[in-house]
Chains A and B, each alone.
Chain A
Amino acid sequence: MSASKPKKSFKIEPFKHKVEMDPDYANNTWKVLEDAIHEIYNHNASGLSFEELYRSAYNMVLHKYGNKLYEGLTTTMTNQLQKVAGQIDAAQGDTFLEELNLKWLDHNKSLQMIRDILMYMDRTYVTNQNKVPVHELGLNLWRDAIVRNGRIRDRLLKTLLDLVHKERTGEVINRGLMRNVTKMFVDLGQTVYLEDFEKPFLDATADFYKAEAQQFISTSDCTDYLRKAEKRLNEEIERVAHYLDQKTESKLTTVVEREMIGNHMKLLVEMENSGLVSMLTNDKYEDLARMYNLFRRVPTGLQTVRDLMTSHLRETGKQLVTDPERQRDPVEFVQRLLDEKDKYDRLIAQSFGNDKTFQNALNSSFEFFINLNTRSPEFISLFVDDKLKKGLKGVSEEDVEGVLDKVMMLFRYLQEKDVFEKYYKQHLAKRLLSGRTVSDDAERSLIVKLKTECGYQFTSKLEGMFTDMKTSKDTMAAFQQKMVEEGNDSDISLQVQVLTTGSWPTQPGAKATLPPEILEQCDKFKNFYLSTHTGRRLSWQTNMGTADLRATFAHSRHELNVSTYQMCILLLFNNADALSYQEIQAATEIPVADLKRNLQSLACVKGRNVLRKEPVGKDVDEDDVFHFNDKFTNKLHKIKIGTVSAQKESEPEKQETRQKVEEDRKPQIEAAIVRIMKSRRLLDHNNIISEVTKQLQSRFLPNPAVIKKRIESLIEREFLERDKNDRRLYRYLA
């Protein structure tokens, strides 16, 4: 409120004063106030009467002497501060900053009192005349008279920067004093702080760390350097907390980061024997985390780290998958991949804060090198095969899931997913038929995972295989019961698995002549089966079965677990002690490759050699003669005779599978072409190629030449035609 603004509209009489205005009134009153200001600066304020001074100033303003009061204040304070400047300037050496700080605190205190007694002027005259308020005026005068004083300015800055430098080189300084002085800059206004202090301070900082980085880099390895840089960074952050304005922190750290890290990034990560590659190789989690945290602070820092990590990963990965040594054992091969992946997963989690961009780099690197080896799909399937056959015994369910999940992750990197599928189906079939799958749950769990990755079409066939196995069990139970009922009990126990054509990997119709006693049982089953399932056709897949035989040798009796082919061979020796290769072949009609392989496993494997070969040798020849090995012994009663076959496919088999895969791709590519053309109607060659590739890339990468062939085939079959004017354009024919 104000006396000059009453609510009612009557005129206010001039203030009545007992003492009429004499011309000296203003001068006298001002004199009182001026003396008081001097007294205040001289620390004699306690003797002054606030009421009197306030009243004096009040009266001056009221009597329109506001201007005189304000001008007088400005002059008096300016003079006062000039005196102070002289005192500060006269301070020797170290006392300079203390003197300045002391005078600054004095000035603040005095200014506070002066403002209080002139409060009425601040409220009315200053507001109405748009003058600078007393407090701010006091600060401005201090700024001009002291901080920007020609004799003080440079000395002050140098003193401050020297102190910071001292602290950076390990000396202890008076931080409280520093804080007071920087606080003074802040109090004088942001621009004063920024221009008179912060900017030169940051420049000095840059110079300091530029030199230090140079020195460190020539004397330290990467680990040490980063440790020092981290320490420096923390020191600077602490420095801000201790005696700088909070807003300086980001600017200061930017300077340090730029000088210490940003300008030397490449040099650091590529340092021999201590850079990124060395850290990665030696699992230096802590160092890597430090590198990540420091490099994250500078532009393109993480990119630098990521790029080098990627190229290193690709290089080592390439070596891993193309090293012929490693490809001997597919299980070991895949295990190595998994170990590598684990290593980097752990590393990214522990050191790189699970940074998504690093995870992506890891994934793309794996994708890159896994597909460098065309056998990766086969090996991965073999790995699963191995795990499901034996590796998972005594392992908890969660661990099984873990292994399967990891395998699926590798699977996702594969470009030729259809090749994997092909192998997986083959391996699964073998597992099921030989009864060697350990855990039904694990098998099914993997199929569920495959379903999400490959789609229902693929897994429905796999599921069909499981269904067949179950149905066969029931069928066999019924068959055996019937045999018992009919009194047809035989000492041969036949187990038949009825497999649905199409669900199982197609087998070449490898025929073999079964021994008559077996054949009899087989026919009985055939009759039984067809009597309940009319209209079906059964054909025997002799290449996939197994048999348990009881064999009597000179010294022992054994139960032999052999393949159907081996059974056929061995049963021949019931009637003969020696047979030539040719005779065996004639009697069994087993395909040459299979026969040789089976004979090899019966005669050439130590501890399993129930047959004796003449001449002795590792390989089976067409002129060889085989004897029943009467002297065979083995500690075990039950003996499993495997088939000598490389776990992984031989070169011709590989070619065959490859061919099958290519064959299977044809209809898929055609279907994709038709789908695309049906919706687009008219499209040029390059676009078709790219769209087909896009559609199919989740399963495999189609070869453009193959796509072109398929297009030509479709043109031949009049699904498409070439445009008459532009030969590169194809048109869909409905």
Chain B
Amino acid sequence: DFAFAYGNPSFSDRIIWLQGPEPVQDGDQAVVRKKVPVNSAIVAAKSLVFQNMLSNGMAETDKDRPVIVNVDSEQEERAVLEMLYFVYTGTFSTPCLDRGDRCEELVALLTVADKYGVAGMVA
């Protein structure tokens, strides 16, 4: 329903920095891999974890700072992006069945959904 707002800076008040190791291991230094503009209300509506994160008085509550989300792998990164897409649209960018043969992708997606408490992604 909020597909129009997905990735659109005009409808975003925060930026999520996806941060993780480079494809090539470069010490322990984490690197910002992607910057995704989001609307805090939309994200918070679908994920209680984001809702608390953006409001409970810790660093992320500060609106001038980016919301840093750490990922451990490219796969997890894709899963988080897919989750955000789902949060806005209620569907997936790639149909589920097409992923059928790529079991790991699916598992990663489910894991992320569980971690951030996004209900409705399993169905």
| A residues neighboring B (CB under 8 Å) | 1-3, 6-7, 10, 12-13, 15-18, 45-55, 58, 109, 112-113, 116-117, 119-120, 123
Contact of A17 with B72 in the complex, beta carbons under 8 Å = yes
Q: Which single member of A1, A16, A55, A120 contacts B70 (CB below 8 Å)?
A: A55
Q: Does B122 contact A (CB under 8 A)?
A: yes
CB-CB under 8 A from A7, the residues of chain B are: 122
Interface size on B, residues (CB 8 A): 31
Q: Does B57 contact A (CB under 8 A)?
A: yes
Interface centre among B69, B111, B119 (most CB of A within 10 A): B111
- Which of B5-13, B34-42, B45-53, B87-95 is the interface stretch? B45-53
* CA distance in complex: A119, B110 (Å): 18
Contact of A3 with B114 in the complex, beta carbons under 8 Å = yes
Contact of B58 with A45 in the complex, beta carbons under 8 Å = yes
Contact of A51 with B52 in the complex, beta carbons under 8 Å = no
A18-B72, A50-B58, A119-B48 given; 6 more Cβ-contact pairs under 8 Å? A3-B110, A13-B107, A16-B73, A47-B58, A119-B49, A120-B115
Contact with A along B71-114 (1 / 0, CB 8 A): 01100000000000000000000000000000110110011011
Interface of chain A, main secondary structure: helix
For B20, the closest partner residue in chain A by CB is: A18
Q: Which single member of A13, A52, A116 contacts B56 (CB below 8 Å)?
A: A116
Least CB distance, B114 to chain A, in whole angstroms: 4
Known A1-B113, A7-B122, A17-B72; judge A50-B107 contact (CB<8 A).
no
* CA distance in complex: A45, B57 (Å): 6
Q: Does B15 contact A (CB under 8 A)?
A: no
Contact of B59 with A46 in the complex, beta carbons under 8 Å = yes
Contact of A10 with B59 in the complex, beta carbons under 8 Å = no
Contact of B103 with A48 in the complex, beta carbons under 8 Å = no
Smallest CB-CB A-B distances: 7 pairs: A116-B52, A1-B122, A50-B58, A50-B53, A3-B114, A3-B111, A48-B58
Q: Which single member of B21, B72, B113, B117 contacts A119 (CB below 8 Å)?
A: B117
For A16, the closest partner residue in chain B by CB is: B73
* CA distance in complex: A120, B117 (Å): 8
Contact of B107 with A3 in the complex, beta carbons under 8 Å = yes
Contact of A18 with B21 in the complex, beta carbons under 8 Å = yes
CB-CB under 8 A from B52, the residues of chain A are: 50, 116-117, 119
CB-CB under 8 A from B57, the residues of chain A are: 45-46, 109, 113
CB-CB under 8 A from A49, the residues of chain B are: 58-60, 68
For B61, the closest partner residue in chain A by CB is: A46
Known A13-B107, A45-B57, A46-B62; judge A51-B115 contact (CB<8 A).
no
CB-CB under 8 A from A50, the residues of chain B are: 52-53, 56, 58-61
Q: Does B32 contact A (CB under 8 A)?
A: no
Q: Which single member of B73, B104, B122 contacts A13 (CB below 8 Å)?
A: B104
Q: Does B44 contact A (CB under 8 A)?
A: no
* CA distance in complex: A55, B69 (Å): 9
For B56, the closest partner residue in chain A by CB is: A116
Contact of B107 with A12 in the complex, beta carbons under 8 Å = yes
CB-CB under 8 A from B61, the residues of chain A are: 46, 50
